[in-house]
A and B are shown apart, each in its own frame.
Chain A
Amino acid sequence: MSIWNRALLLLALGTLPVMGQETVLDPASSVKIDLPENSPLALISTNMGDSRASNRGGTIVLDLHMALTLRNSGARRVRGVTLLITAQEFAPGGKGSVARPCIDVPSGEQFTVPVDIRLVRPVQQAGGPLVRVQLDGVLFDDLSFFGPNRLNSQRAMTFWETEAQRDRAYFKHVLQARGDKGLGEEMLQSIARQAERPQLNVALSRNGRATGSIVPQGVAAGEHVAQFAFLKLPTAPVQPVEGWAEIAGNEARSPQIEIVNQSGKPVRYVEIGWMVKDKEGHEYLAGSVPGSNSAMLLPAGQHSRLLPDTTLKFSRTGKPVEIQGMTGFVSQVEFADGKVWVPSREDLKSSALLRIMAPSPEEQRLADIYSKRGLAALVAELNRY
Protein backbone atom coordinates (compact mmCIF):
# COMPACT_ATOMS: atom_id res chain seq x y z
CA MET A 1 0.00 0.00 0.00
CA SER A 2 1.47 3.36 -0.99
CA ILE A 3 1.93 6.16 1.51
CA TRP A 4 -0.83 8.10 -0.24
CA ASN A 5 -3.33 5.23 0.02
CA ARG A 6 -2.43 4.74 3.64
CA ALA A 7 -3.07 8.41 4.27
CA LEU A 8 -6.41 8.17 2.50
CA LEU A 9 -7.39 5.21 4.59
CA LEU A 10 -6.48 7.02 7.79
CA LEU A 11 -8.42 10.04 6.59
CA ALA A 12 -11.46 7.89 5.88
CA LEU A 13 -11.31 5.92 9.07
CA GLY A 14 -9.97 8.41 11.56
CA THR A 15 -7.22 7.17 13.81
CA LEU A 16 -7.54 3.57 12.66
CA PRO A 17 -4.21 1.77 12.47
CA VAL A 18 -3.48 0.18 9.10
CA MET A 19 -4.06 -3.54 9.57
CA GLY A 20 -7.04 -5.45 10.95
CA GLN A 21 -8.57 -2.81 13.22
CA GLU A 22 -12.18 -1.74 13.35
CA THR A 23 -13.69 1.63 13.85
CA VAL A 24 -17.26 2.59 14.60
CA LEU A 25 -18.79 4.47 11.69
CA ASP A 26 -19.60 8.09 12.24
CA PRO A 27 -22.95 8.77 10.54
CA ALA A 28 -22.04 12.37 9.79
CA SER A 29 -19.01 11.57 7.66
CA SER A 30 -19.33 7.91 6.68
CA VAL A 31 -22.84 7.63 5.32
CA LYS A 32 -24.58 9.90 2.87
CA ILE A 33 -28.31 9.48 2.57
CA ASP A 34 -29.67 10.90 -0.66
CA LEU A 35 -33.36 11.47 -0.93
CA PRO A 36 -34.61 13.50 -3.90
CA GLU A 37 -35.96 16.95 -3.17
CA ASN A 38 -39.53 15.96 -4.02
CA SER A 39 -39.27 12.61 -2.24
CA PRO A 40 -42.53 11.42 -0.62
CA LEU A 41 -40.40 9.99 2.17
CA ALA A 42 -38.55 12.16 4.67
CA LEU A 43 -35.60 10.95 6.69
CA ILE A 44 -36.34 11.23 10.41
CA SER A 45 -33.30 9.57 11.92
CA THR A 46 -30.40 7.27 11.22
CA ASN A 47 -29.38 4.79 13.85
CA MET A 48 -25.92 3.48 13.02
CA GLY A 49 -26.14 0.70 15.62
CA ASP A 50 -23.00 -1.40 15.50
CA SER A 51 -21.95 -0.36 12.00
CA ARG A 52 -18.19 -0.55 11.57
CA ALA A 53 -15.43 -0.27 9.01
CA SER A 54 -12.35 -2.44 8.97
CA ASN A 55 -9.32 -2.61 6.78
CA ARG A 56 -8.48 -5.93 5.15
CA GLY A 57 -5.51 -5.66 2.89
CA GLY A 58 -6.44 -3.36 0.04
CA THR A 59 -10.11 -3.12 0.87
CA ILE A 60 -12.31 -1.50 3.42
CA VAL A 61 -15.04 -3.79 4.68
CA LEU A 62 -18.14 -1.90 5.72
CA ASP A 63 -20.30 -3.79 8.17
CA LEU A 64 -23.62 -1.97 8.21
CA HIS A 65 -26.25 -2.54 10.90
CA MET A 66 -28.23 0.61 10.44
CA ALA A 67 -31.85 1.48 10.87
CA LEU A 68 -33.33 4.37 8.92
CA THR A 69 -36.55 5.85 10.21
CA LEU A 70 -38.56 7.44 7.42
CA ARG A 71 -41.83 9.32 7.40
CA ASN A 72 -44.44 9.16 4.68
CA SER A 73 -44.73 12.84 3.88
CA GLY A 74 -46.90 12.25 0.82
CA ALA A 75 -50.65 11.94 0.58
CA ARG A 76 -50.90 8.26 -0.42
CA ARG A 77 -50.27 5.13 1.61
CA VAL A 78 -46.87 3.55 1.05
CA ARG A 79 -46.82 -0.15 0.27
CA GLY A 80 -43.14 -0.69 -0.41
CA VAL A 81 -39.76 0.99 -0.50
CA THR A 82 -36.39 0.02 -1.97
CA LEU A 83 -33.08 1.61 -1.04
CA LEU A 84 -29.85 1.30 -3.01
CA ILE A 85 -26.77 0.96 -0.80
CA THR A 86 -23.47 1.66 -2.56
CA ALA A 87 -19.85 1.56 -1.47
CA GLN A 88 -18.47 1.26 -5.01
CA GLU A 89 -19.89 0.26 -8.34
CA PHE A 90 -17.18 -1.49 -10.28
CA ALA A 91 -16.47 -4.75 -8.45
CA PRO A 92 -18.60 -7.46 -6.83
CA GLY A 93 -19.67 -6.78 -3.28
CA GLY A 94 -19.84 -3.01 -3.62
CA LYS A 95 -23.54 -2.58 -4.11
CA GLY A 96 -26.64 -3.92 -2.50
CA SER A 97 -30.25 -3.04 -1.98
CA VAL A 98 -32.73 -3.34 0.82
CA ALA A 99 -36.44 -3.58 0.11
CA ARG A 100 -39.34 -3.41 2.49
CA PRO A 101 -42.39 -4.82 0.70
CA CYS A 102 -45.80 -5.56 2.21
CA ILE A 103 -45.93 -2.47 4.39
CA ASP A 104 -48.89 -0.15 4.82
CA VAL A 105 -47.82 3.28 5.97
CA PRO A 106 -50.46 6.01 6.01
CA SER A 107 -49.62 9.62 5.29
CA GLY A 108 -47.71 11.22 8.15
CA GLU A 109 -46.66 7.95 9.78
CA GLN A 110 -43.13 6.70 10.33
CA PHE A 111 -41.56 3.34 9.65
CA THR A 112 -38.12 1.81 9.85
CA VAL A 113 -35.94 0.16 7.23
CA PRO A 114 -33.16 -1.97 8.73
CA VAL A 115 -29.98 -2.12 6.67
CA ASP A 116 -27.92 -5.20 7.54
CA ILE A 117 -25.43 -5.63 4.77
CA ARG A 118 -21.71 -5.85 4.30
CA LEU A 119 -20.04 -4.11 1.41
CA VAL A 120 -16.47 -3.77 0.25
CA ARG A 121 -14.63 -0.87 -1.23
CA PRO A 122 -11.03 -0.50 -2.31
CA VAL A 123 -8.78 1.57 -0.14
CA GLN A 124 -7.62 3.43 -3.25
CA GLN A 125 -11.06 4.94 -3.80
CA ALA A 126 -10.58 8.46 -2.61
CA GLY A 127 -12.93 11.05 -1.20
CA GLY A 128 -16.58 11.19 -0.26
CA PRO A 129 -18.55 9.14 2.21
CA LEU A 130 -17.88 5.45 2.56
CA VAL A 131 -21.47 4.48 1.88
CA ARG A 132 -24.21 6.13 -0.09
CA VAL A 133 -27.87 5.30 0.52
CA GLN A 134 -30.28 6.31 -2.21
CA LEU A 135 -33.96 5.89 -2.70
CA ASP A 136 -34.58 3.60 -5.66
CA GLY A 137 -38.33 3.57 -5.40
CA VAL A 138 -41.53 3.92 -3.42
CA LEU A 139 -44.68 1.98 -4.28
CA PHE A 140 -48.06 3.38 -3.30
CA ASP A 141 -51.38 1.68 -2.58
CA ASP A 142 -52.70 2.53 -6.04
CA LEU A 143 -49.57 0.84 -7.50
CA SER A 144 -48.17 4.15 -8.67
CA PHE A 145 -44.44 4.61 -8.20
CA PHE A 146 -41.91 7.26 -7.37
CA GLY A 147 -38.17 7.03 -7.82
CA PRO A 148 -35.30 6.63 -10.29
CA ASN A 149 -35.90 2.85 -10.56
CA ARG A 150 -32.28 1.97 -11.35
CA LEU A 151 -32.76 -1.48 -9.87
CA ASN A 152 -36.14 -2.13 -11.52
CA SER A 153 -37.60 -1.99 -8.04
CA GLN A 154 -40.91 -0.76 -9.47
CA ARG A 155 -41.37 -4.11 -11.18
CA ALA A 156 -40.24 -6.14 -8.17
CA MET A 157 -42.40 -4.23 -5.69
CA THR A 158 -45.42 -4.31 -8.00
CA PHE A 159 -45.08 -8.09 -8.26
CA TRP A 160 -44.79 -8.43 -4.48
CA GLU A 161 -47.80 -6.20 -3.90
CA THR A 162 -49.87 -8.09 -6.48
CA GLU A 163 -48.97 -11.39 -4.83
CA ALA A 164 -49.78 -9.81 -1.46
CA GLN A 165 -53.27 -8.81 -2.65
CA ARG A 166 -53.79 -12.29 -4.06
CA ASP A 167 -52.79 -14.03 -0.84
CA ARG A 168 -54.63 -11.69 1.50
CA ALA A 169 -57.79 -12.20 -0.55
CA TYR A 170 -57.25 -15.96 -0.37
CA PHE A 171 -56.84 -16.07 3.40
CA LYS A 172 -59.79 -13.73 3.91
CA HIS A 173 -61.88 -16.06 1.78
CA VAL A 174 -60.76 -19.01 3.92
CA LEU A 175 -61.73 -17.09 7.04
CA GLN A 176 -65.18 -16.34 5.66
CA ALA A 177 -65.78 -19.85 4.36
CA ARG A 178 -64.25 -21.91 7.16
CA GLY A 179 -64.02 -19.56 10.12
CA ASP A 180 -61.15 -19.08 12.58
CA LYS A 181 -60.41 -22.80 12.82
CA GLY A 182 -60.13 -23.13 9.05
CA LEU A 183 -57.82 -20.13 8.86
CA GLY A 184 -55.64 -21.59 11.60
CA GLU A 185 -55.43 -24.92 9.78
CA GLU A 186 -54.54 -23.17 6.53
CA MET A 187 -51.79 -21.23 8.28
CA LEU A 188 -50.31 -24.32 9.85
CA GLN A 189 -50.30 -26.01 6.45
CA SER A 190 -48.47 -22.99 5.02
CA ILE A 191 -45.88 -23.18 7.79
CA ALA A 192 -45.43 -26.93 7.28
CA ARG A 193 -45.06 -26.40 3.50
CA GLN A 194 -42.36 -23.82 4.10
CA ALA A 195 -40.53 -26.16 6.40
CA GLU A 196 -40.74 -29.12 4.04
CA ARG A 197 -39.90 -27.23 0.86
CA PRO A 198 -36.99 -29.02 -0.78
CA GLN A 199 -33.90 -26.82 -1.09
CA LEU A 200 -31.25 -26.97 -3.75
CA ASN A 201 -27.87 -25.29 -4.08
CA VAL A 202 -27.50 -23.39 -7.32
CA ALA A 203 -24.33 -21.93 -8.81
CA LEU A 204 -24.84 -19.39 -11.52
CA SER A 205 -22.35 -18.10 -14.04
CA ARG A 206 -22.31 -16.14 -17.21
CA ASN A 207 -20.94 -18.01 -20.18
CA GLY A 208 -21.67 -16.07 -23.38
CA ARG A 209 -22.19 -19.27 -25.35
CA ALA A 210 -25.74 -18.67 -26.51
CA THR A 211 -25.72 -19.21 -30.28
CA GLY A 212 -29.04 -17.78 -31.40
CA SER A 213 -30.32 -21.09 -32.75
CA ILE A 214 -33.18 -22.61 -30.83
CA VAL A 215 -31.46 -25.99 -31.06
CA PRO A 216 -27.95 -25.84 -29.61
CA GLN A 217 -25.09 -26.54 -32.01
CA GLY A 218 -21.75 -28.17 -31.37
CA VAL A 219 -22.44 -29.90 -28.08
CA ALA A 220 -19.23 -30.71 -26.21
CA ALA A 221 -18.17 -34.21 -25.28
CA GLY A 222 -19.96 -35.56 -22.22
CA GLU A 223 -22.90 -33.25 -22.78
CA HIS A 224 -26.26 -33.98 -24.21
CA VAL A 225 -29.06 -31.73 -25.31
CA ALA A 226 -32.26 -32.04 -23.36
CA GLN A 227 -35.64 -30.66 -24.23
CA PHE A 228 -37.54 -28.75 -21.59
CA ALA A 229 -40.83 -29.89 -20.26
CA PHE A 230 -43.16 -27.02 -19.53
CA LEU A 231 -45.76 -26.54 -16.87
CA LYS A 232 -48.41 -24.45 -18.55
CA LEU A 233 -50.50 -22.35 -16.24
CA PRO A 234 -53.90 -21.74 -17.84
CA THR A 235 -54.16 -18.09 -16.86
CA ALA A 236 -50.63 -17.13 -17.96
CA PRO A 237 -50.69 -14.45 -20.68
CA VAL A 238 -47.37 -15.72 -22.05
CA GLN A 239 -46.85 -19.40 -22.71
CA PRO A 240 -43.64 -21.31 -23.35
CA VAL A 241 -43.55 -23.11 -26.71
CA GLU A 242 -40.36 -25.17 -26.64
CA GLY A 243 -36.92 -25.07 -25.12
CA TRP A 244 -33.55 -26.79 -24.97
CA ALA A 245 -30.44 -26.80 -22.84
CA GLU A 246 -27.06 -28.49 -22.86
CA ILE A 247 -26.84 -30.82 -19.88
CA ALA A 248 -23.65 -32.30 -18.43
CA GLY A 249 -24.05 -34.06 -15.10
CA ASN A 250 -25.23 -31.41 -12.67
CA GLU A 251 -24.83 -28.53 -15.09
CA ALA A 252 -27.31 -26.94 -17.46
CA ARG A 253 -25.87 -24.53 -20.02
CA SER A 254 -27.24 -22.03 -22.49
CA PRO A 255 -30.94 -22.67 -22.02
CA GLN A 256 -33.01 -21.39 -24.91
CA ILE A 257 -36.75 -20.96 -24.65
CA GLU A 258 -39.33 -19.82 -27.16
CA ILE A 259 -42.39 -18.06 -25.78
CA VAL A 260 -45.55 -16.67 -27.30
CA ASN A 261 -47.57 -13.70 -26.09
CA GLN A 262 -51.14 -14.95 -25.96
CA SER A 263 -52.55 -11.86 -24.33
CA GLY A 264 -54.05 -8.99 -26.23
CA LYS A 265 -51.39 -6.48 -25.23
CA PRO A 266 -47.62 -6.04 -25.50
CA VAL A 267 -45.36 -7.54 -22.84
CA ARG A 268 -42.09 -6.07 -21.66
CA TYR A 269 -40.88 -8.57 -19.10
CA VAL A 270 -41.18 -12.32 -18.56
CA GLU A 271 -39.67 -14.44 -15.81
CA ILE A 272 -39.30 -18.19 -16.10
CA GLY A 273 -39.21 -20.44 -13.06
CA TRP A 274 -36.87 -23.43 -13.30
CA MET A 275 -37.44 -26.82 -11.76
CA VAL A 276 -34.99 -29.69 -11.97
CA LYS A 277 -35.57 -33.38 -11.35
CA ASP A 278 -32.89 -35.66 -9.97
CA LYS A 279 -32.34 -39.39 -10.47
CA GLU A 280 -34.78 -40.25 -7.69
CA GLY A 281 -37.49 -38.17 -9.30
CA HIS A 282 -37.39 -35.42 -6.68
CA GLU A 283 -38.22 -31.97 -7.99
CA TYR A 284 -36.64 -28.73 -6.82
CA LEU A 285 -36.99 -25.09 -7.68
CA ALA A 286 -33.61 -24.20 -9.13
CA GLY A 287 -34.07 -20.50 -9.49
CA SER A 288 -35.76 -17.78 -11.41
CA VAL A 289 -34.53 -16.58 -14.75
CA PRO A 290 -35.50 -13.18 -16.04
CA GLY A 291 -36.14 -13.77 -19.67
CA SER A 292 -35.66 -10.31 -21.01
CA ASN A 293 -33.60 -7.21 -20.82
CA SER A 294 -34.93 -3.72 -20.44
CA ALA A 295 -35.35 -3.33 -24.19
CA MET A 296 -37.80 -6.19 -24.64
CA LEU A 297 -41.21 -5.48 -26.06
CA LEU A 298 -43.17 -8.49 -27.24
CA PRO A 299 -46.29 -7.52 -29.18
CA ALA A 300 -49.52 -9.45 -28.73
CA GLY A 301 -49.56 -12.75 -30.59
CA GLN A 302 -45.84 -12.71 -31.35
CA HIS A 303 -43.12 -15.24 -30.53
CA SER A 304 -39.77 -14.51 -29.01
CA ARG A 305 -36.76 -16.36 -27.71
CA LEU A 306 -35.32 -16.08 -24.25
CA LEU A 307 -31.59 -16.68 -24.28
CA PRO A 308 -30.32 -16.18 -20.76
CA ASP A 309 -26.56 -16.17 -20.86
CA THR A 310 -26.13 -18.62 -18.00
CA THR A 311 -24.82 -21.87 -16.69
CA LEU A 312 -26.58 -23.39 -13.71
CA LYS A 313 -24.87 -25.94 -11.48
CA PHE A 314 -26.89 -27.89 -8.95
CA SER A 315 -25.93 -29.55 -5.72
CA ARG A 316 -27.47 -30.53 -2.42
CA THR A 317 -25.77 -31.07 0.90
CA GLY A 318 -22.43 -30.73 -0.85
CA LYS A 319 -23.10 -33.37 -3.52
CA PRO A 320 -23.82 -32.66 -7.19
CA VAL A 321 -27.39 -33.29 -8.28
CA GLU A 322 -27.42 -34.98 -11.64
CA ILE A 323 -30.12 -33.49 -13.84
CA GLN A 324 -32.62 -35.96 -15.20
CA GLY A 325 -35.16 -33.42 -16.34
CA MET A 326 -35.90 -29.73 -16.36
CA THR A 327 -39.28 -28.05 -16.26
CA GLY A 328 -39.98 -24.43 -16.87
CA PHE A 329 -43.01 -22.33 -16.10
CA VAL A 330 -43.88 -18.70 -16.55
CA SER A 331 -43.80 -17.16 -13.09
CA GLN A 332 -44.12 -13.41 -13.77
CA VAL A 333 -45.24 -11.24 -16.67
CA GLU A 334 -45.15 -7.47 -16.90
CA PHE A 335 -47.15 -5.75 -19.60
CA ALA A 336 -46.04 -2.63 -21.40
CA ASP A 337 -48.66 -0.60 -19.51
CA GLY A 338 -47.04 -1.54 -16.20
CA LYS A 339 -49.70 -4.04 -15.10
CA VAL A 340 -48.44 -7.42 -13.97
CA TRP A 341 -49.57 -11.03 -13.95
CA VAL A 342 -48.68 -13.59 -11.29
CA PRO A 343 -50.01 -17.15 -10.98
CA SER A 344 -53.30 -17.40 -9.11
CA ARG A 345 -53.67 -19.54 -5.99
CA GLU A 346 -55.60 -22.03 -8.10
CA ASP A 347 -52.74 -22.13 -10.62
CA LEU A 348 -50.27 -22.84 -7.82
CA LYS A 349 -52.43 -25.51 -6.17
CA SER A 350 -53.41 -27.38 -9.29
CA SER A 351 -49.88 -27.46 -10.66
CA ALA A 352 -48.31 -28.52 -7.33
CA LEU A 353 -46.13 -25.39 -7.49
CA LEU A 354 -47.41 -24.45 -4.05
CA ARG A 355 -45.22 -27.21 -2.64
CA ILE A 356 -42.09 -26.21 -4.52
CA MET A 357 -42.16 -22.44 -4.83
CA ALA A 358 -41.39 -20.14 -1.96
CA PRO A 359 -44.50 -18.46 -0.56
CA SER A 360 -44.95 -14.81 -1.30
CA PRO A 361 -43.41 -12.30 1.14
CA GLU A 362 -46.95 -11.46 2.29
CA GLU A 363 -47.81 -15.08 3.04
CA GLN A 364 -44.60 -15.40 5.04
CA ARG A 365 -45.40 -12.17 6.85
CA LEU A 366 -48.90 -13.35 7.74
CA ALA A 367 -47.55 -16.73 8.87
CA ASP A 368 -45.05 -14.90 11.07
CA ILE A 369 -47.85 -12.83 12.65
CA TYR A 370 -49.87 -15.99 13.26
CA SER A 371 -46.86 -17.81 14.72
CA LYS A 372 -45.86 -15.07 17.12
CA ARG A 373 -49.09 -13.27 17.97
CA GLY A 374 -51.82 -15.81 17.38
CA LEU A 375 -54.99 -16.09 15.38
CA ALA A 376 -56.68 -12.96 16.70
CA ALA A 377 -53.73 -10.83 15.54
CA LEU A 378 -53.82 -12.48 12.11
CA VAL A 379 -57.54 -11.84 11.69
CA ALA A 380 -57.07 -8.22 12.78
CA GLU A 381 -54.28 -7.82 10.24
CA LEU A 382 -56.37 -9.31 7.40
CA ASN A 383 -59.27 -7.06 8.29
CA ARG A 384 -57.09 -3.96 7.99
CA TYR A 385 -57.16 -4.25 4.21
Chain B
Amino acid sequence: MQTATLQDAMTEKYPAPGSSLSADVQERFVTENLRRIFLQIYRIVGNVHDAQDLTQEAFIKALQRQEQLKDEQKATHWLSRIATNTALDFLRRHGRVAFCEITEAPESHSETPEASVLRSEQRDWLNAGLERLTPRERAALVLRDVEDLPAEEVARRLDCSKATVRSHIANARIKLRKFAERRKR
Protein backbone atom coordinates (compact mmCIF):
# COMPACT_ATOMS: atom_id res chain seq x y z
CA MET B 1 0.00 0.00 0.00
CA GLN B 2 1.45 3.40 -0.94
CA THR B 3 2.12 5.96 1.76
CA ALA B 4 -0.43 8.44 0.51
CA THR B 5 -3.14 5.78 0.45
CA LEU B 6 -2.18 4.51 3.91
CA GLN B 7 -2.27 8.01 5.33
CA ASP B 8 -5.61 8.65 3.69
CA ALA B 9 -6.91 5.38 5.07
CA MET B 10 -5.69 6.22 8.57
CA THR B 11 -7.16 9.70 8.45
CA GLU B 12 -10.45 8.28 7.34
CA LYS B 13 -10.21 5.61 10.00
CA TYR B 14 -9.35 7.88 12.88
CA PRO B 15 -9.90 11.53 11.90
CA ALA B 16 -7.73 14.36 13.20
CA PRO B 17 -8.54 15.97 16.53
CA GLY B 18 -11.29 18.53 16.40
CA SER B 19 -13.55 16.24 14.39
CA SER B 20 -15.55 13.59 16.13
CA LEU B 21 -15.53 10.01 14.87
CA SER B 22 -18.40 9.01 12.63
CA ALA B 23 -20.63 6.19 13.75
CA ASP B 24 -19.04 3.88 11.16
CA VAL B 25 -15.55 4.59 12.38
CA GLN B 26 -16.59 4.06 15.98
CA GLU B 27 -18.24 0.77 15.07
CA ARG B 28 -15.12 -0.38 13.25
CA PHE B 29 -12.92 0.54 16.22
CA VAL B 30 -15.14 -1.49 18.51
CA THR B 31 -15.46 -4.48 16.20
CA GLU B 32 -11.73 -4.72 15.51
CA ASN B 33 -10.72 -4.61 19.17
CA LEU B 34 -13.66 -6.14 21.02
CA ARG B 35 -12.53 -9.77 21.24
CA ARG B 36 -8.94 -8.89 22.06
CA ILE B 37 -9.89 -6.51 24.85
CA PHE B 38 -12.49 -8.90 26.22
CA LEU B 39 -9.91 -11.69 26.46
CA GLN B 40 -7.33 -9.38 27.99
CA ILE B 41 -9.75 -8.30 30.70
CA TYR B 42 -11.10 -11.81 31.23
CA ARG B 43 -7.62 -13.08 31.93
CA ILE B 44 -7.14 -10.44 34.58
CA VAL B 45 -10.50 -10.73 36.34
CA GLY B 46 -11.28 -14.39 35.57
CA ASN B 47 -15.02 -13.99 35.19
CA VAL B 48 -17.02 -13.64 31.97
CA HIS B 49 -19.80 -11.43 33.37
CA ASP B 50 -17.36 -9.00 34.93
CA ALA B 51 -15.20 -9.08 31.82
CA GLN B 52 -18.24 -8.09 29.76
CA ASP B 53 -19.07 -5.13 32.01
CA LEU B 54 -15.48 -3.97 32.16
CA THR B 55 -14.98 -4.31 28.40
CA GLN B 56 -17.97 -2.04 27.84
CA GLU B 57 -16.59 0.42 30.36
CA ALA B 58 -13.15 0.45 28.73
CA PHE B 59 -14.55 1.16 25.26
CA ILE B 60 -16.82 3.91 26.53
CA LYS B 61 -13.88 5.57 28.30
CA ALA B 62 -11.73 5.29 25.18
CA LEU B 63 -14.37 6.58 22.78
CA GLN B 64 -15.03 9.58 24.98
CA ARG B 65 -11.43 10.67 24.42
CA GLN B 66 -11.54 10.69 20.67
CA GLU B 67 -8.49 12.91 20.34
CA GLN B 68 -6.43 9.91 21.49
CA LEU B 69 -7.70 7.79 18.63
CA LYS B 70 -6.25 9.70 15.69
CA ASP B 71 -3.30 7.32 15.32
CA GLU B 72 -4.34 3.69 14.83
CA GLN B 73 -1.41 2.08 16.61
CA LYS B 74 -1.50 4.52 19.49
CA ALA B 75 -5.25 4.06 19.71
CA THR B 76 -4.79 0.31 20.12
CA HIS B 77 -2.20 0.75 22.87
CA TRP B 78 -4.29 3.44 24.50
CA LEU B 79 -7.31 1.16 24.55
CA SER B 80 -5.28 -1.74 25.99
CA ARG B 81 -3.97 0.47 28.72
CA ILE B 82 -7.46 1.67 29.63
CA ALA B 83 -8.60 -1.95 29.68
CA THR B 84 -5.80 -2.99 32.04
CA ASN B 85 -6.47 -0.10 34.43
CA THR B 86 -10.20 -0.71 34.39
CA ALA B 87 -9.66 -4.37 35.26
CA LEU B 88 -7.12 -3.55 37.96
CA ASP B 89 -9.43 -0.98 39.56
CA PHE B 90 -12.19 -3.54 39.59
CA LEU B 91 -10.04 -6.20 41.23
CA ARG B 92 -8.79 -3.79 43.84
CA ARG B 93 -12.28 -2.66 44.77
CA HIS B 94 -13.94 -6.01 44.78
CA GLY B 95 -11.24 -8.19 46.23
CA ARG B 96 -11.65 -11.82 45.36
CA VAL B 97 -13.77 -12.31 42.31
CA ALA B 98 -16.56 -14.85 42.43
CA PHE B 99 -16.32 -17.10 39.44
CA CYS B 100 -19.51 -18.17 37.84
CA GLU B 101 -19.78 -19.85 34.50
CA ILE B 102 -22.20 -18.94 31.76
CA THR B 103 -25.11 -21.35 31.92
CA GLU B 104 -26.08 -21.05 28.28
CA ALA B 105 -23.19 -22.20 26.17
CA PRO B 106 -23.49 -23.69 22.73
CA GLU B 107 -22.41 -27.27 22.35
CA SER B 108 -18.82 -27.62 21.34
CA HIS B 109 -18.26 -30.11 18.56
CA SER B 110 -14.54 -29.54 18.28
CA GLU B 111 -13.33 -31.63 21.21
CA THR B 112 -14.22 -34.85 22.97
CA PRO B 113 -16.12 -34.78 26.25
CA GLU B 114 -12.99 -35.95 28.06
CA ALA B 115 -10.91 -33.15 26.58
CA SER B 116 -13.63 -30.69 27.46
CA VAL B 117 -13.64 -31.81 31.09
CA LEU B 118 -9.85 -31.64 31.27
CA ARG B 119 -9.83 -28.16 29.81
CA SER B 120 -12.50 -27.08 32.25
CA GLU B 121 -10.49 -28.49 35.18
CA GLN B 122 -7.38 -26.75 34.00
CA ARG B 123 -9.24 -23.46 33.68
CA ASP B 124 -10.67 -23.87 37.18
CA TRP B 125 -7.33 -24.49 38.84
CA LEU B 126 -5.66 -21.67 36.90
CA ASN B 127 -8.44 -19.34 38.00
CA ALA B 128 -8.05 -20.51 41.60
CA GLY B 129 -4.29 -19.98 41.44
CA LEU B 130 -4.60 -16.54 39.89
CA GLU B 131 -7.05 -15.56 42.63
CA ARG B 132 -4.21 -15.81 45.10
CA LEU B 133 -2.27 -13.05 43.44
CA THR B 134 -2.60 -9.35 44.11
CA PRO B 135 -4.29 -7.40 41.30
CA ARG B 136 -1.00 -6.01 40.02
CA GLU B 137 0.77 -9.37 40.21
CA ARG B 138 -2.03 -10.94 38.26
CA ALA B 139 -2.10 -8.19 35.67
CA ALA B 140 1.70 -8.30 35.25
CA LEU B 141 1.65 -12.07 34.83
CA VAL B 142 -1.21 -12.04 32.33
CA LEU B 143 0.30 -9.25 30.27
CA ARG B 144 3.70 -10.96 30.21
CA ASP B 145 2.88 -14.65 29.94
CA VAL B 146 -0.49 -14.62 28.19
CA GLU B 147 -0.40 -11.45 26.09
CA ASP B 148 3.36 -12.01 25.56
CA LEU B 149 4.23 -8.36 25.99
CA PRO B 150 7.85 -7.41 26.71
CA ALA B 151 8.56 -6.39 30.29
CA GLU B 152 9.06 -2.76 29.25
CA GLU B 153 5.59 -2.64 27.73
CA VAL B 154 4.09 -4.29 30.81
CA ALA B 155 5.73 -1.61 32.94
CA ARG B 156 4.23 1.09 30.71
CA ARG B 157 0.77 -0.44 30.90
CA LEU B 158 0.94 -0.71 34.69
CA ASP B 159 2.58 2.68 35.06
CA CYS B 160 5.48 1.42 37.13
CA SER B 161 9.19 0.74 36.77
CA LYS B 162 10.66 -2.31 35.04
CA ALA B 163 12.11 -3.41 38.37
CA THR B 164 8.67 -3.32 39.97
CA VAL B 165 7.21 -5.31 37.09
CA ARG B 166 9.94 -7.94 37.44
CA SER B 167 9.14 -8.18 41.13
CA HIS B 168 5.42 -8.63 40.40
CA ILE B 169 6.11 -11.28 37.77
CA ALA B 170 8.51 -13.20 39.98
CA ASN B 171 6.14 -13.15 42.96
CA ALA B 172 3.24 -14.21 40.77
CA ARG B 173 5.09 -17.16 39.27
CA ILE B 174 6.35 -18.28 42.67
CA LYS B 175 2.86 -18.16 44.20
CA LEU B 176 1.36 -20.01 41.25
CA ARG B 177 4.02 -22.69 41.38
CA LYS B 178 3.48 -23.23 45.11
CA PHE B 179 -0.26 -23.43 44.52
CA ALA B 180 0.26 -26.02 41.80
CA GLU B 181 2.48 -28.07 44.15
CA ARG B 182 -0.08 -28.03 46.97
CA ARG B 183 -2.78 -29.07 44.54
CA LYS B 184 -0.84 -32.13 43.46
CA ARG B 185 -0.44 -33.38 47.02
A65–B92 contact, CB under 8 A? yes
Q: How far is the CA of A47 from the CA of B135 in the complex (A)?
A: 9
Take A111-B95, A112-B94 as given contacts and tell me if A49 and B57 are in contact as well, using a CB distance cutoff of 8 Å. no
Contact (Cβ within 8 A) B53 A67: no
Give the residues in chain B near A373, CB-CB below 8 Å: 49, 53
Q: How far is the CB of B37 from chain A (nearest CB, A)?
A: 16
In the docked arrangement, what's the CA distance between A112 and B134, Å?
14
- Residues of A within 8 Å of B135, CB to CB, are 47, 49
Q: How far is the CA of A111 from the CA of B96 in the complex (A)?
A: 8
Measured CB to CB, the closest approach of chain B to A304, in angstroms, equals 42
Check B96 against A112 for contact (C-beta < 8 Å). yes
Report if B93 contacts A (CB, 8 A): yes
Q: Is A372's CB within 8 Å of the partner chain B?
A: yes
Interface residues of B in 25-71 (CB under 8 A from A): 49, 53, 56-57
**What is the CA–CA distance of A373 and B95 in the complex, to the nearest angstrom?**
19
Quick one: which of B49, B57, B96, B136 contacts A110, CB cutoff 8 A? B96
Provide the bound-state CA to CA distance between A49 and B53, in Å.
23
Which positions in A face B, CB cutoff 8 Å? 45, 47, 49, 65, 67, 69, 110-112, 114, 372-373
Q: Contact partner of B92 among A45, A67, A111, CB < 8 A? A: A67
State how many angstroms separate the Cβ of A169 from the closest Cβ of chain B. 26
* A114 & B53 in contact (Cβ 8 Å cutoff): no
- Please report the C-alpha to C-alpha distance between residue A211 and residue B137 in the assembled complex, in whole angstroms: 60
Write out the residue numbers on chain B whose beta carbons fall within 8 Å of the beta carbon of A45. Answer: 95
Contacts A49-B134, A49-B135, A372-B53 given; indicate if A69 touches B92 (C-beta within 8 A): no
Question: Would you list which residues of chain B between 89 and 129 have a CB under 8 Å from chain A?
Answer: 92-96
Q: How far is the CB of B10 from chain A (nearest CB, A)?
A: 32
Q: Which of A110, A114, A372 contacts B93 (CB 8 A)?
A: A114
B2 to chain A: closest CB distance in Å?
A: 44
CA of A200 to CA of B130, assembled, Å: 45
B95 engages A47 (CB within 8 Å): yes
Q: Which residue of B lies closest to A50 (CB)?
A: B136
B128 to chain A, nearest CB (A): 15
Chain B residue nearest to A45 (CB atoms) is B95
Are B57 and A67 closer than 8 Å at their CB atoms?
Answer: no
Q: Tell whether, in the assembled complex, residue A69 and residue B96 are in contact, meaning their CB atoms are under 8 Å apart.
A: yes
Tell whether, in the assembled complex, residue B134 and residue A372 are in contact, meaning their CB atoms are under 8 Å apart: no
Query: B56: which A residues are within 8 A, CB to CB?
Result: 372
Chain A residues with CB below 8 A from B49, complex form? 373
Contact A372 B92 (CB under 8 A): no
Closest B residue to A48 by CB, please name it. Answer: B134
Q: Which residues of A contact B134 (CB under 8 A)?
A: 47, 49
CB of A112 within 8 A of CB of B53, answer: no
With A47-B134, A49-B134 as contacts: A110 and B53 at CB distance below 8 Å? no
The CA-CA distance from A65 to B88 in the complex, in Å, is 12
Which 5 A-B pairs give the minimum distances between C-beta atoms? Answer: A112-B95, A69-B95, A114-B93, A372-B53, A67-B95
